[in-house]
Amino acid sequence: DTEVTQTPKHLVMGMTNKKSLKCEQHMGHRAMYWYKQKAKKPPELMFVYSYEKLSINESVPSRFSPECPNSSLLNLHLHALQPEDSALYLCASSLSRSTRGAFTDTQYFGPGTRLTVL
Partner 1 sequence: QKEVEQNSGPLSVPEGAIASLNCTYSDRGSQSFFWYRQYSGKSPELIMFIYSNGDKEDGRFTAQLNKASQYVSLLIRDSQPSDSATYLCASEHSSASKIIFGSGTRLSIRP
Binding interface with partner 1 (CB under 8 A): 2, 31, 33, 41-43, 45, 48, 50, 55-56, 88, 90, 97, 100-103, 105-112
Separation between Cα atoms, residue 33 and residue 61, nearest integer Å: 16
Nearer to partner 1, 45 or 80 (CB): 45
Residues present in the chain in total: 118
Helix ranges restricted to H, the chain: 102-105
Amino acid residing at 54:
L
**Least distance CB 54 / partner 1 (angstroms):** 11
**Least distance CB 59 / partner 1 (angstroms):** 13
